[in-house]
A and B are shown apart, each in its own frame.
Chain A
Amino acid sequence: MEPMLVARGVSKLFGQVRALNDVDLTVGPGVTGLLGPNGSGKSTLMKLFAGQLLPDEGEVRLLGGDPFREPRYLRALGLCPEQDKFYEELTGHAFVFALTRLHGFGAADARKRTTSALDRVGMGEYGHKRIGEMSRGMRQRTKIAQAIAHDPPVVLLDEPLTGADPVARADLIDLVRGLGAEGRCVLVSSHVLHEVEAMTHQVVFIRFGRLRAHGDILRLRALLTDRPYRIHVEVDDPRALAARMIALPHVQATSVVDAGTLEVTTTDLDAAARELPDHAAALGQVVRRFTSPDADLESLYRYLISRV
C-alpha cells in the first residue's frame, strides 16, 4: 500500500535557523505520534505536509501529490494547527460550516457534516456559542472538528490537547484513536508523552531537525541494546528469587530494593518476562507486581534525546 505521507530528503531553513535537515519519512494509516523537544522541527514538518511551506531541499508527498504546488490534494487533508487563532465573533458552528464550505461542499451537505463533526468532538450542545466566549478546551475541540468535518483520509494534529481539561483529554484521546482505527493517517504532535502513548505505539522522533528514530515504541526500546532494562518484581522472598535470576545469561544484576521488592537488570525484557514467573513458581512464590520503569515512552524519549 502507498504510504500516505512521504518526506524525501527534506531540509528547511528559516533564514539561518535550521528547522529540518535531510528528513526521510513515510507515514501510513493509523495514528503516529510526532515527538521532539521544542524547536526540533515538528510544526515545520506538519506545515510542509500541509502545503503551507515549500521545502528548501527534498520533496514532500501527500497521497502521492505535492501539497504545495497541487492544492487539490489538500482536500484529502485535515489540519489542526498549533496557533490558537480564530474568528472570535463566529459561533463554533458557523466557523466549522464556513471552512467546510471552502472544501467545496454544498450548504446542506456542509451543515450536516458540521453538525456531525461537532457531535463527534463533543461540542454538539455548544455549537452556537461564540468562539470568543469558549474555554481553551472548547476552542481546541472546535479546531479539531474543523479538521475532520470534510472526512479527510489524512489528519494532522499539532498539539491538539493543549489547554484541554482532564475529561476532555480522555475524550480527545479516544477520538484520535477512533480516527486511526478508521484507517485514516493521523499525525499527532504532543509534549505529553503518556498521552501519546495512550493514542498510539507508532512514533517518530525528531531531534536537532534530524530524524532520530521512527517505529513502534517497544521495538525501538529493544533496539537500544546498550541500555539494559530494570524490572521491579514484588514477591515474598526476593533473595531466593534473586539467586535464581542472577544465573540467567541475560540478567546483569539483581538487588533487593526492600523486603518485598526485587530489582532485576536485564538486557532482554522479553526473556525475563517469560522466565521470571516460572522461577518464582518453582520457589512457590507469586509475582504480585512486575513493572519495568524504563520500557515506556518516557524513558525511550530520554534516551533518544540525550546528546550522544
Chain B
Amino acid sequence: MLLSFQGVRKQFGTTMALAGVTGAVDGRAVGLLGPNGAGKTTLMKVCLGLIRPDAGSVSVMGMDAVRDPNAVRHRLGYSAEGPGRMPGLSGLESVAFAAELCGLRYREALLRAHDMLDLVGLDESRYRPVETYSTGMHQRVKVAMALVHDPDLVLLDEPTSGLDPESRDELLDLVVHLRDSDGPAVVLSTHLLHDVERTCDAVMIMQNGEVRFAGPLRDLQVGRASEYEVRTALPTPALAEHLAARGVRVTLGGRADVLMVGLPDGDGPEAIWAAASACGASVVHLKARAASLEDAFLEAVGMRPAVPVSWPRPAVVPRG
C-alpha cells in the first residue's frame, strides 16, 4: 500500500482538520481530491511527519510516518503549496540545495538539479533568483525540488494552482510521464477533478477531514448503468417518448436535442438505434458516457445535484 491511514485525528485549536481519517490507497498516481479546507494539506504534512497527529497511525509505503519521519522523508518528495522558497537562492541553487539536504554531494546535486529542471522545463532562468519568478516558474522549481533526491513517492500539493493553461498542461503531462516511468509514484492534491481524471489511476476523496472514498479510479465508476449521450439533428421528443415507453431511463441533456439515455445493464445501443428508426429521428451523435469522475465525486461527498427525472409525456405531435 502506498498510503494507509487508521483513525488519524488532528485538531488545530477549535478546528478539526482531520476527523478520523481511515483509508488506504495504492497506485502510480493518486489524486487527493477535495474542496478547499478538506484537510488535504494537513494529511500530506502528517505523511511527512511535519505534523504529529493527535491520534491514529499513518503508514507510507509500509513505514510508520509518526514514529520514523526521517526514514519516510528519505523516500518522499514534497512540493508544498504556496510561496515558500529558499531565500536568496536561484532556481538551480534551490534544487541543488534540496538535493544536498538529502545527502547528495555538491557536484552530484548540481548535475541532478540540472536534469530535473530540464525535465520540468525551466530554461536559462534557472540561474535567476527565485524571488523574480512567475508562479508557473516557481511551481516548476518546487516540483524539481520534490524530485531531485529520487524519492519513491512525491507529494504534490496543488501543483496546478495559479498556472496558465499551457503550464498546467505541461505539469499534468509530467505527472503522466512520472506515472508511466519507473520513477516515483505521485500523490497529487487538487480541488480540480479534471486534473485527477487526466492523470491519476487511483483517488482518495476527502471532505471535512474525513475520507469519503479511497481506491482505484475505476472502482468509483462501477455499478452504474451504461449511459449514452444521444443527439438528434432536430429536437425529437418522439424518440424520448419511444425509449421511455420501452422502460429505458431517459434524461434531458443540457440542450433540447440532447438526451441522456440510461440503458439497463447488459443492453447495447441497439435499442436506441431501433427506437430512432421507429420514430424517424436522425441520430447524429451517439457516445457511451462513462460515469464521469465529477458525478462520482459529487456523490461521494453527498452533494449530487442532478436527480434523474423521467421524461414527461410530450405535448408536441411527433414528426411524421
- Residue numbers of A with Cβ under 8 A of B are 11, 13, 16-18, 21-22, 56-57, 208-210, 307-308
Contacts and interface: CB of A to CB of B under 8 A. Distances in A.
B127 A18 contact: no
Q: Quick one: which of B96, B110, B121, B177 has the most chain A CB within 10 A?
A: B110
A16 B92 contact: yes
Contact of B118 (A17, A56, A208): A208
Interface string B83-122: 0000000001100100000000001001100110010010
24 contacts: A11-B107, A11-B111, A13-B107, A13-B110, A13-B111, A16-B92, A16-B93, A16-B110, A16-B127, A17-B127, A18-B110, A18-B111, A18-B114, A21-B111, A21-B114, A21-B115, A22-B111, A208-B114, A208-B115, A208-B118, A209-B114, A210-B115, A308-B173, A308-B177
Interface of B: 92-93, 96, 107, 110-111, 114-115, 118, 121, 127, 173, 177
A287 B115 CA distance: 48
Nearest to A56: B107
A57 B114 contact: no
Contacts of B121: 307
Given A13-B111, A18-B111, 12 more contacts: A11-B111, A13-B107, A16-B110, A18-B110, A21-B115, A22-B111, A57-B107, A208-B114, A208-B115, A210-B115, A307-B121, A308-B173
Nearest to A11: B111
A219 to B, nearest CB: 26
Q: Which 7 A-B pairs have the closest CB atoms?
A: A18-B114, A208-B118, A21-B111, A11-B111, A56-B107, A13-B110, A16-B92
A128 B71 CA distance: 73
A171 to B, nearest CB: 38
Contacts of B118: 208
A246 to B, nearest CB: 27
Nearest to B92: A16
Contacts of A308: 173, 177
Contacts of A307: 121
Nearest to B90: A16
A210 B116 CA distance: 13
A45 to B, nearest CB: 15
Nearest to A308: B177
A210 to B, nearest CB: 8
B72 to A, nearest CB: 29
Contacts of B110: 13, 16, 18
Contacts of B107: 11, 13, 56-57
Contacts of B115: 21, 208, 210
Contacts of A208: 114-115, 118
A141 to B, nearest CB: 35
A44 to B, nearest CB: 14
Contacts of A57: 107
Contacts of A209: 114
Contacts of A210: 115
A22 B111 CA distance: 9
A93 B173 CA distance: 58
Contacts of A17: 127
A57 B127 CA distance: 23
Contacts of B92: 16
Q: Quick one: which of B114, B121, B127 has the most chain A CB within 10 A?
A: B114
B162 to A, nearest CB: 22
Contacts of B127: 16-17
Q: Quick one: which of B92, B107, B127, B177 has the most chain A CB within 10 A?
A: B107
B112 to A, nearest CB: 9
A16 B93 CA distance: 8
A307 B119 CA distance: 8
Q: Quick one: which of A13, A16, A209 has the most chain B CB within 10 A?
A: A16
A35 B291 CA distance: 50
Q: Quick one: which of A18, A22, A210, A308 has the most chain B CB within 10 A?
A: A18
Contacts of B114: 18, 21, 208-209
A11 B110 CA distance: 11
A13 B173 CA distance: 30
Contacts of A22: 111
A21 to B, nearest CB: 5
A22 B92 CA distance: 19
A18 B173 CA distance: 25
Contacts of B111: 11, 13, 18, 21-22
Nearest to A57: B107
A307 B173 CA distance: 12
Contacts of B177: 308
A56 to B, nearest CB: 6
Contacts of A18: 110-111, 114
Nearest to B96: A16
Nearest to B111: A21
A247 B307 CA distance: 50
Nearest to A208: B118
A56 B107 CA distance: 8
Nearest to B174: A308
A149 to B, nearest CB: 38
